[in-house]
Amino acid sequence: MTDKRLLGTGIAGTTLAAVCCFTPALVILLGALGLSAWVGWLNYVLLPALACFVGMIAWALIRRKPSCRS
């Protein structure tokens, strides 16, 4: 996976996890589908996913950084 694609995936995943984690978007969607029993464990999934995607962004940015070796 190229650095640009890795960075794009990280940004998209972070945005999606943040929207679902910090807004009631996913709660409303699951309630409308009749799956509101799953709302109780969303933080166990979304917070690690958010951390994983933030780590992916950091990794992509570290790999893009030019080395200072001469």
Question: Could you tell me the pTM of the whole model?
Answer: 0.72
Q: Could you tell me the CA-to-CA distances from 55 to 17, 64, 66 in Å, in that order? A: 13, 14, 19
Residue 29 covered by a domain: yes
**pLDDT for 1-22, tens place per residue?**
777 888 899 999 898 888 877 7
Residue 50 covered by a domain: yes
Total of domains in the chain: 1
Residue 46 covered by a domain: yes
Predicted confidence at residue 23, as pLDDT, reads 73
Residue 69 covered by a domain: no
38 backbone dihedrals φ, ψ, rounded to 5°: -80, -10
Which helix (H) or strand (E) element contains residue 1?
Answer: none
Reference 51, options 62, 59, 63; nearest CA is: 59
Which domain range does residue 30 map to? 3-64
Quickly count: other Cβ atoms within 10 Å of residue 19's Cβ.
12
Higher pLDDT, 45 or 52: 52
Higher pLDDT, 22 or 47: 47
